[in-house]
Copies of this chain bind each other. A is one copy, B any other.
């Protein structure tokens, strides 16, 4: 009965969203003691239960994990692709010929594309910002020269065919001077207006809806974050993001900036905190009203042998696991966590076997999704804040 009821609600969501031609965001529960909320986002590729973590699929593949496992084992509801990477490889001709990213990689659920602002800033060579134009950069792969303008990025994201497209921003580095941050923020705002114009002038290519999220910048300066959040909010997009965090600033500053932005960004729209973070970061930011997260940490750390669990963080290369023949994670329902032992996984990392990073990535992503699913449940049960404060010291400790 319960399942039927949920199914009915979902069908209604989808119906409603088709009818209004908008992405639907419904808040089901709000937490009494924090700004956390549990909700659902409805896209043409399915429903996303928020708060949600989005595995990073840089070039259209979640590193070291089969697409089927992302769906069936990790149970991801949405994955992220990178416009910068997908533009360079496989390129827009291939993506367009395929019929968009979902048909290209076989992932049938929602996709969000990062706009490339962060990658142009962190990866490419000889970056040159010409605000009226965009950014000229050299590919990190072959040194070839390219221009990303707000218009071009929107065109590329239309071709990639993500359900949620991010506006093209200038990702402010940390640390930076107030004047640099202010100027950078103004460029982002100007580019956003151009992105919105282009978005409104163009249509989705593959018959399903796409939406555009703008990005708050402003580095660690309160005044700028307030200005930026107000500007972003005034654009009245279907969801909003906070960028320029998790770029090296102290955690407390990140929390402060999130809090400031969340107080301004509209409550009735999903809020996405870009590139964050550790399990503790995620729970603290949920408490401030964030609904969506992405981060390379579970996959990158998984490749390096750092394993997140409900008991704490394990460095699998450590000698201490050498004779530990217990399952990798006894608290998990992931088959790999029961079938592989800690001693075996340590051996795989030590011997540089690909299976080590494969298990680590699968496990960590499964843990992140399990963590955020549990957070959602606790919000619905009304025990989120208490649970969060109890669990954070435990999951953050090094074992």
Q: Which label, helix, strand, loop or mixed, suits the secondary structure of the A interface?
A: helix
Pairwise interchain contact B90-A350, C-beta atoms closer than 8 A: yes
User: Size band of the A side of the interface?
Assistant: 35 or more
Interface residues of A (CB under 8 A from B): 59-68, 85, 89-90, 93-94, 97-98, 103-106, 322-323, 325, 335-336, 339-341, 343-344, 346-348, 350-351, 353-355, 357-359
Closest to A88 in B: B351
Pairwise interchain contact B97-A323, C-beta atoms closer than 8 A: yes
Shortest beta-carbon distance, A235 to chain B, in Å?
Answer: 34
Pairwise interchain contact B357-A103, C-beta atoms closer than 8 A: no
Closest to A355 in B: B61
Assembly of this chain: how many copies? 2
List B contacts of A64 (CB < 8 A): 354-355, 358
Closest to A357 in B: B354
List B contacts of A93 (CB < 8 A): 323
Compute how far the CA of A386 lies from the CA of B243 in the bound complex, rounded to whole angstroms.
65
List B contacts of A66 (CB < 8 A): 336, 355, 358-359
Pairwise interchain contact B63-A347, C-beta atoms closer than 8 A: no
List B contacts of A350 (CB < 8 A): 89-90
Shortest beta-carbon distance, A233 to chain B, in Å?
Answer: 37
Pairwise interchain contact A60-B347, C-beta atoms closer than 8 A: yes
Q: List 26 A-B contacts (CB under 8 A).
A: A59-B347, A59-B351, A59-B353, A60-B344, A63-B354, A64-B358, A65-B355, A66-B336, A67-B340, A68-B336, A68-B339, A89-B347, A89-B351, A90-B347, A90-B350, A90-B351, A94-B323, A97-B325, A98-B343, A104-B341, A104-B343, A104-B344, A105-B344, A106-B339, A106-B344, A354-B357
Knowing A347-B59, A350-B89, A355-B61, the reply to whether A67 touches B339 (Cβ < 8 A) is yes
Pairwise interchain contact A354-B351, C-beta atoms closer than 8 A: no
Closest to A99 in B: B325
Knowing A66-B358, A354-B357, the reply to whether A325 touches B103 (Cβ < 8 A) is yes
